[in-house]
Structure 1
Amino acid sequence: MAILDYIVSLGASVMMPIIITLFGLLLGAKFSKAIRSGLTVGIGFIGLNLVIGLLMNNLGPASQKMVERLGLSLTVIDVGWPAAAAISFASVVGAIMIPIGLGINILMLITKQTRTVNIDIWNFWHFAFTGALVAAATNSIAWGVFASAINMVIVMYLADWTAPGVEEYNGLPGVSLPHGFSAAYVPIALVINKLIDMIPGIKNIKADPETLQKRFGIFEEPMIIGSILGLAIGAFAGYDFKAILNLGVTMGAVLILIPKMAAMLMEGLLPISDAAQEFIEKRFKNAGKVYIGLDSAVAIGHPACMSASLVLVPVTILLAAVIPGNKVLPFADLAVLPFMLCMVIPVTKGNVFRTFIIGFLMVASGLLIATNMAPLHTQLAINANFQMPEGATQIASICDGANPLTWVLLQISKFKMIGAAILCAIVVGMAFLNQKIRKAQDVKAEN
């Protein structure tokens, strides 16, 4: 545990090169190739985090200004994902989630229940968050650990099933996204997308970036979209002319730079991904393709994801003001909306219109989920000695406080033995479905 805690404390930009280098050596790669891949991935993560930091440091304050201008006085404050992550790892469940998560991944690989080697250890906090909530609700650490384990298994399945789409639409070959927040919205997106397919006229709306660019020319290029939306957000925030222009250029830069940083990360990852595939093919017959599990940050740069997310920022604030029963004031986590939508892109095939509609419905329901989970969220924060914001009676977050999968697992777990039976039945059902999906993917790959 001390070793694992130390590695995680190094941060993703240091932890990832170490893991990638060791992984490459275990797969039989030469040291020079392994260390080069590891460092390239680390540099890619640093670049990606710098751009995401640029996004959050500029979009976050603008969003907060919009909240202030509307004069919203909701009692549950969105304190953001960093606080949620810290609260998660401060819990007993969080303290043991990393070794449990690694064990689950290894077991699923051995039993051919996953194709993903999940090296995104830092984001195990999403599973720990679920477990910490369940432990507090049931007054049982054991039930919390069980819920966090079930959460990870479900997310691993979702990561596998969406991986081909992530490869095609997000341009990430050999990568899956076992991210506890992003993956949770995939089932909802599938249902809503099917419903849209049933609506005459609406179902025929083509709004993928390529189609829009042909129709609208330069105005649908990513940097132009980002700049226009940035200017609009700056205006809604009440910024002066200089600040509006600055936000516009910054958002345009973000839409260009995120994919470029993700491409550099992929440059380092591809040799290791190829080595992993070769290793599996030599030693395990009929094992099929293997994916490297990464943070969904590598996928948020898709133009459809960023366009829909930026439009959703002011929409989310308006929804918070008008939805009956909502008590959450969106604040710190407004800049994480791209993480909510990045795994929706393969479902909608990059359709901006559909992505926005799905995002709209997910945000609306998410605010109510966050309101419902706020008392437990606040209890965990107090237990972790978190400093409550001035004027707040309770706290929440969009990530993971509005996570629908976390909420469902929490509600089912409250029934303890009956809930455990239901969750086991869900996992068994997904395991059978997984075998069918694996076979279909293998047949498609052979053809």
Structure 2
Amino acid sequence: MSYILGFFNFIQGLGANVMMPIIIFIFGIILGTEKGKALRAGLTVGVGFIGLNLVINALGANLGPAVEQMIKRFGLSLSVIDVGWPAAAAIAFASTVGMIIIPVGLIVNIVMILTNTTQTVDVDIWDYWHFAFTGALVAISTGSQMMGVIAAVLNMIIIMVIGDYTAPGVEKTLGLPGVSLPHGFTGAYAPIAIVINKIIDLIPGVRDIDISMEKVQKRFGVFGEPILIGTSLGIIIGIIAGYGIKDVLTLGITMGAVLVLIPKMASLLMEGLLPISDAASEFINKRFSKKGKMYIGLDSAVGVGHPVTLSVSLILVPLTVFMAVLIPGNKVLPFADLAVIPWMFVLITPVVNGNGFRALINGIIVLAVGLLISTNLAPLITIAAQNANYTMPSGATQISSICDGANPLTWLIVRINDFGWIGMAVIAVVAISLAIINRKRILKEAHEMEQKA
């Protein structure tokens, strides 16, 4: 067992940029893709991920100082520090649940595929840390590692179902055919967006407001293009931060570049995935019946490039900082994870069909509630960090994050387990029920595909 865990720890330590090309290559060979094509696909996916990370790092490196300056300029002071997702991932993987989450997650995915309870082959195993994060907090709150592992598994089942359900929207709105996004952070916001979207539909006048990038570009011409929208929002953030003219312009041009480059890197990644996706469909159709359409599960980073997702996220950066001060009961000072706000919107954007107004309403609500969630989970996250020998920021007594500290699904699973095994049973019933409902939908879809064939 120690050798097996050591192997998976080694794989985990490689990081997504190295791990994804290897997984895609092996997956392609298993599916019968020619070795040369599989190798090229894997390397292209790796290049796409590296390109995405370079642009995303540029986003964080430029937004971070602006936010820090904003905080200093307005004298904001809150007691819980947002340490960001890299720290949260490290804390999750350092836990007992995190040590076994990759083999456990692979087993869960295989069982769900064989039982027709998912259509997704989730190759994004590095992001299993989101499930481990939930499990680690449950293990601390209940004092039971077994309950932590079960919580992580149930979290994954729910997210896999959400990934299947939202995959058609990912294909249509985000332009990612054959891809689903079973991402523990991103997926948690899709059900909330569905509810908020239906509420908006009931409000006369408001339901007719539609701000789409196509309409903006049609109305404003070149001034409605993503490059100018990003530049304008970057300049506004720089002005709010009190930057000088040089830094304002630098931030503006960098944000404009981000809105242009992220979609291009995502399209490069898709170029590598398409032959594997086609091979997966052919493989499933030949060897299995009643499977319906199959999807490759990826990191939601591939979907952050939609103009609505990025534009709304940039608007929300300064808003989130000010909401943190104004919301009663919040103790979290948002900082490191402000750059991951786009990940919240990757599935919200398809749910609202690319409507920027509805996306913004969703964003304000989920971030306002998310700050309170991250405040509530801060004591558990701090204990998890101490257990992982994480070095606390200077002067900080507690830490939290937006990703996954503000995750509503994580919070729900953690807090319902305050009721012990009764709470766990409730989550289990919900997860299994969703899987059964998903199975019925998959079998119906497969039957319809057989009839058309």
Q: TM-score, normalised by structure 1?
A: 0.98
**Which of 110, 114, 119 is 1:110 aligned to?**
114
Letter in 2 for 1:227: T
Alpha carbons of structure 1 residues 443 and 193: separation in structure 2 relative to 1, 3 Å: farther
Match of 1:266 among 262, 266, 270: 270
Shift of 1:217: 1.8
Provide the rounded CA distance (Å) in 1 between the counterparts of 2:24 and 2:222.
39
Give the letter aligned to residue 152 of structure 1.
M
Q: Which residue of 2 aligns with 1:4?
A: 8
Aligned in 2, Cα 1:440/1:285: closer, same or farther, shift over 3 Å?
A: closer
Residue 418 (1) aligns with residue 422 (2): yes
1:209-228 to structure 2, matched below 5 A, reads 209-228=213-232
User: Does 1:75 pair with 2:79?
Assistant: yes
Instruction: Measure the CA separation in 2 of the matches of 1:220 and 1:438.
Output: 40
Contact 2:120–2:294 (8 Å) recurs in 1: yes
Q: Secondary structure at the match of 1:414?
A: helix
Local SS of the residue matching 2:419: coil
Whether the 8 Å contact between 1:161 and 1:437 is mirrored in structure 2 is no
- Name the stretch that deviates more: 421-430 or 155-164: 421-430
Is 1:157–2:161 an aligned residue pair? yes
Q: Choose which of 307, 312, 322 in structure 1 pairs with 2:311.
A: 307
**2:33 is matched with which residue?**
29
The one-letter amino acid of 2:301's match is A
Do 1:176 and 1:292's aligned partners in 2 also have CA atoms closer than 8 Å? yes
Partners of 1:159 and 1:177 within 8 A in 2:
yes
Q: How far is 1:415 from its partner?
A: 1.5
What is the CA–CA distance in structure 2 between the aligned matches of 1:265 and 1:342, rounded to whole Å? 16
- Inter-CA distance 210–442: structure 2 relative to 1 (3 Å threshold): farther
The runs of at least 4 consecutive aligned structure 1 residues that moved more than 4 Å come to 439-447
Residue among 196, 202, 214 paired with 1:192: 196
CA–CA distance in structure 2, aligned partners of residues 23 and 429 of structure 1: 30
- Using the alignment, how far apart are the partners of 1:437 and 1:365 within structure 2? 32
For 1:188 and 1:15, the matched residues in 2 are separated by: 32
Displacement of 1:435 in angstroms is 3.1
Aligned position for 2:442: 438
Q: Is the 8 A contact 2:158 2:435 kept in 1?
A: no
Query: 1:233 — aligned with what?
Result: 237
Partner of 2:230, secondary structure, is: helix
Residue 378 of structure 1 aligns with which residue? 382
Structure 2 distance, partners of 1:299, 1:399, is 17
Say whether residues 1:148 and 2:152 are aligned partners: yes
Residue 411 (structure 2) pairs with residue 407 (structure 1)? yes
Give 1:113 shift: 0.6
Q: Does 1:173 align with 2:159?
A: no
The number of equivalent residue pairs is: 447
Comparing 412-421 with 291-300, which one deviates more in the overlay?
Answer: 412-421
CA distance in 1, matches of 2:83, 2:424: 31
Partner of 1:62: 66
Instruction: Calculate the aligned-residue CA RMSD, in Å.
Output: 1.2
Distance 1:374 1:149 in 2: 23
Asked if the contact 2:290/2:447 (under 8 Å) is kept, the reply is no
Unaligned runs of 5+ in 2: none
Select which of 244, 256, 260 maps to 1:256.
Answer: 260
| 1:395 matches 2:399 | yes
2:88 to 81, 84, 91: 84
Check conservation: 2:17, 2:50, Cα contact below 8 A: yes
- Cα distance in 2 for partners of 1:149, 1:177 equals 17
Asked whether the 8 Å contact 1:76–1:396 carries over to 2, the reply is yes
Of 117, 138, 142, 1:138 maps to: 142
CA distance in 2, matches of 1:386, 1:9: 17
Are the equivalent residues in 1 in contact too, given 2:291–2:442 (CA < 8 A)? no
CA distance in 2, matches of 1:400, 1:427: 20
**Secondary structure, counterpart of 1:289 in structure 2:** coil
Letter in 2 for 1:132: A
Q: Distance in 1 between matches of 2:193 and 2:164?
A: 16
Q: 1:67 touches 1:331 (CA, 8 Å); kept in 2?
A: no
Question: Offset of 1:349 from its aligned partner?
Answer: 0.4
> Could you tell me how far apart the structure 1 residues matched to 2:332 and 2:199 are?
28
Sort the Cα spacing of 1:19 and 1:209 in 2 relative to 1 into closer, same or farther, 3 A: same
2:343 counterpart of 1:367: no
Give yes or no for the alignment of 1:357 onto 2:367: no
What's the CA shift for 1:70? Answer: 1.6
Q: 1:14 aligns with which of 9, 12, 18?
A: 18
Please tell me the residue identity of whatever aligns with 2:139. Answer: A
Residue 444 of structure 1, CA deviation: 7.5
CA positional deviation for 1:441: 4.8
| CA distance, structure 1, for counterparts of residue 224 and residue 420 of structure 2 | 51
Deviations along 1:93-143, whole A, 9 cap, x unmatched? 100111100000000000011111111111111000000000000000000
CA drift of 1:440 comes to 5.9
Consecutive unaligned residues in structure 1, runs of 5 or more: none
Whole-Å Cα distance in 2 between the matches of residues 2 and 34 of structure 1? 27
State the partner residue of 1:429.
Answer: 433
The correspondence for 1:98, drawn from 95, 102, 107, is 102
Match of 1:277 in 2: 281
Aligned-pair distance for 1:436?
Answer: 4.2
Shift of 1:443: 7.2
What is the alpha-carbon distance in structure 2 between the residues aligned to residue 313 and residue 137 of structure 1?
31
Q: Distance between the aligned counterparts of 1:76 and 1:149, measured in 2?
A: 29
8 Å CA contact retained: 1:181, 1:400:
yes
State how far apart, in whole Å, the 2-side matches of 1:295 and 1:136 are. 27
Conserved in 1, the CA contact under 8 Å of 2:382 and 2:399? Answer: yes
Flag the 1:80–1:3 CA change in 2: closer, same or farther, 3 A.
Answer: same
What is the TM-score when the length of structure 2 is the normalising length? 0.97
How far off its partner does 1:162 sit? 0.3
Matched to 2:407, the amino acid is N
